[in-house]
Amino acid sequence: MNPADSSWLLLIVSLPTSSATARMRVWRGLKALGCAALRDGAHLLPGRPEHEQALQELGDECLREGGSAWLMSVQPRSDEDAMAYRQLFDRSNDYAELRKAWKEAHGGIAAMGAPELARLQRKLQREFDAARAIDFFPGDASAEADAAWSDFNKRIESLLSPDEPHGTEGGIPRLDMGHYQGRLWATRRRLWVDRVASAWLIRRFIDRDARFQWLAKPSDCPKRALGFDFDGAAFTHVGDRVTFETLMASFGLEADPALVRLGAMVHALDVGGEPVPEAKGFEAVMAGARERLADDDALLAEMSTVLDSIYAHFQREAQRNGASNDRSGTK
């Protein structure tokens, strides 16, 4: 689309000088939306429906406080004007400040305890998410910040989960599920994405009578137990597959398109790769549940319900796609 054809929203507001609290509230609202201030009281945003609603709400608040508000749609007169408008929303400096903060924090994270490190990770993640939410025209600075955050976040994860498995080479033999019933399965405690999804997969599709033991460290794994998701375990990362995908391949579950999509989601969250739309939501739920629940059995029970729901959603979409393909083939 030609930049000159894009629409913009302009909110012009004023408040009585006596309304200091309301003035601060409106200013914070405008800042959170990522508005560009053209001059005092004049604020610009790209013309998107969610922006129109949010600006209208701020304008209504000004009116309730005895001020004035005008919300209008504006068009740039030329490509040059359109590019000038976009330039007002360049977030390069914001990303540079974030990367500076990550670099400064990097030197001290090795000495932090797990709770402090987890709090720092959540704080920095919120700041990065807030910057991306108002980056309406992402470019090179955004991509560079994404890469820098990925590297820094992996460093934090390596400290929080020092026993994260390394990929092994070789094939994955097909196993007889009948030989893996009523077994004891073991993995590292304080479950995260690949471990909780693998435990769900085991109990849901492989060994319905599975019992689990959560290990303080991999070397605590009993000899009779089937270890998963740590170096030397019976089931772990193989090649570019995470443990969830290794289990699927081991027990012939890769013909299920809903499980394949779940595997892609787990892969993206565990080691990166092709983005999966549902991944961020699952990660947020997992992080919240992990914060609330110290017991891994309770954590698995709660996240199993979430995984059941996502699996049902993927199943329904697979059925719809299959029905659509069948109809297309009969035309």
CB-based burial label for 309 (10 Å; 0-12, 13-18, 19+): exposed
Question: Pick from 212, 190, 188: which is nearest to 199 by CA?
Answer: 212
Query: Could you tell me if residue 168 is inside a domain?
Result: no
Structure confidence at residue 2 (pLDDT): 42
Same domain, yes or no: 46 and 137: no
Same domain, yes or no: 243 and 273: yes
Query: Could you tell me if residue 147 is inside a domain?
Result: yes
Same domain, yes or no: 193 and 308: yes
What is the helix (H) or strand (E) element at residue 51, kind and residue range? Answer: helix 49-64
From 132, 160, 188, the end of a domain falls on 160
Q: Are strands 184-188 and 211-215 parallel, antiparallel or unpaired?
A: parallel
DSSP 168-215: BPS------GGGGSS-EEEEESS--HHHHHHHHHIIIII-TT-EEEEE
Strand order in the sheet with 68-74: 36-39, 42-46, 8-14, 68-74
Same domain, yes or no: 223 and 283: yes
Strand-pair partners of 43: 11, 37
Query: Could you tell me if residue 170 is inside a domain?
Result: no
Same domain, yes or no: 108 and 239: no
From 87, 119, 149, the end of a domain falls on 87
Structure confidence at residue 145 (pLDDT): 94
For residue 300, count other CB atoms closer than 10 A to its CB. Answer: 20
Query: Could you tell me if residue 45 is inside a domain?
Result: yes
Query: Could you tell me if residue 326 is inside a domain?
Result: no
Same domain, yes or no: 184 and 259: yes
Same domain, yes or no: 120 and 79: no
Same domain, yes or no: 204 and 298: yes
Specify whether the CB–CB gap between 193 and 270 falls below 8 A. Answer: yes
Query: Could you tell me if residue 165 is inside a domain?
Result: no
Structure confidence at residue 95 (pLDDT): 96
Tens of pLDDT, residues 180-203: 999 999 999 989 999 999 999 999
Same domain, yes or no: 182 and 154: no
Structure confidence at residue 325 (pLDDT): 63
Structure confidence at residue 106 (pLDDT): 87
Same domain, yes or no: 99 and 80: no
The 3-state DSSP class for residue 235 equals strand
Same domain, yes or no: 51 and 119: no
Low-confidence residues in the chain, pLDDT < 70? 1-5, 162-163, 167, 323-331
Structure confidence at residue 54 (pLDDT): 95
Domain that holds residue 98: 92-160
Strand-pair partners of 188: 215
Tally of domains within the chain: 3
Query: Could you tell me if residue 238 is inside a domain?
Result: yes
Same domain, yes or no: 149 and 281: no
Structure confidence at residue 50 (pLDDT): 93
Specify whether the CB–CB gap between 95 and 145 falls below 8 A. Answer: yes
CATH of the domain at 82: 3.30.70.240
